[in-house]
Amino acid sequence: MNERQPYIRVENLKKNFGHIEALKGASLEAYPGEILAIVGDNGAGKSTLIKALSGAITPDGGVISIDGQSFAHLTPKLAEEKGITTVYQDLALVNTQTVWENIFLGHEYRRWGWLNKKKMRRETAELLERLQVSIPDQESVVADLSGGQRQALAVARAIRQGGKMIILDEPTAAMGLKETAAVQKLIRHLADQGYGVIIISHNIPQVFELSDRICVIRQGKVLAVLDTKSVTADDIVCMIVGGSASNGAKQ
């Protein structure tokens, strides 16, 4: 077994929106069991990159390989089949439905045509326990959950649907300290269980606390991919803003 086989390999990815070059030949690798943080200024191309990975946009050039298979035209269905799941910020949960109903949304178990609620409740309990997600009552409706619990629920659903590489876009934006800590714990736990995690974050302390490697994107290019332990927050901020961290940052 070669543990250092990348699950995702992106080579020379390009994407234009009209005259805007959102990605100018980005290359990147992501591994199972690893937390990869993607950082970069507003408009750097982070979301465009992850949208290409989930098949939501078609790149103008380059190749995406997943688990050794290359795709020039990755569709959302193919990406999902290959275990790439993106949890976007709106989370796509149904507020009026319960925890277990959301876990099985669109993939319900049926028995003789009837919903097999017992099985879905049991599997939800097992899944939440395995992921160490703390939601005391799975009969709660999503509207009554905290932000952190919602994020955890969206991640649990992604795992249930076969996710192997979980991509999170700003998962703790607008969360308090306690909630953020719970979501970070879940992300770490996922990586420890062998899932790959890609997290987009503007929160540099969080990036340093969580990630194994940091990918800095600037103006559509991957400027560097670094071992988190080998760099300082100042180094990263310098790379993001493209100058000295102390006097290069704009207001």
Binding residues for ligand ATP (CB under 6 A): 17, 20, 22, 40, 42-48
- φ, ψ of residue 158 to 5 degrees: the values are -60, -40
Output 89 or 134, the one with its CB closest to Mg ion. 89
CA dihedral 16, 19, 22, 23 (to 10 degrees): 60
Q: Could you tell which of Mg ion, ligand ATP, none binds residue 233, using a CB distance below 5 to 8 A set by kind? A: none
- Sequence-distant (6+) residues with CB within 8 A of 184 are 172, 206, 209, 210
Q: Could you tell which of ligand ATP, Mg ion, none binds residue 109, using a CB distance below 5 to 8 A set by kind? A: none
Output 14 or 188, the one with its CB closest to ligand ATP. 14
Output 65 or 89, the one with its CB closest to Mg ion. 89
Q: Could you tell which of ligand ATP, Mg ion, none binds residue 44, using a CB distance below 5 to 8 A set by kind? A: ligand ATP
Closest CA relative to residue 217, chosen from 5, 76, 41, 35: 41
Is residue 13 within 8 A of residue 65, CB to CB? The reply is no
| Nearest distance, CB of residue 38 and ligand ATP, angstroms | 8
Q: Could you tell which of ligand ATP, Mg ion, none binds residue 22, using a CB distance below 5 to 8 A set by kind? A: ligand ATP
Closest CA relative to residue 30, chosen from 4, 12, 58, 62: 4
Is residue 186 within 8 A of residue 131, CB to CB? The reply is yes
157's tokens: 């659903």
Output 66 or 240, the one with its CB closest to ligand ATP. 240
Output 47 or 85, the one with its CB closest to Mg ion. 47
Q: Which residues bind Mg ion (CB under 5 A)?
A: 47
Distance CA 172, CA 177 (A): 9
Q: Could you tell which of ligand ATP, Mg ion, none binds residue 131, using a CB distance below 5 to 8 A set by kind? A: none
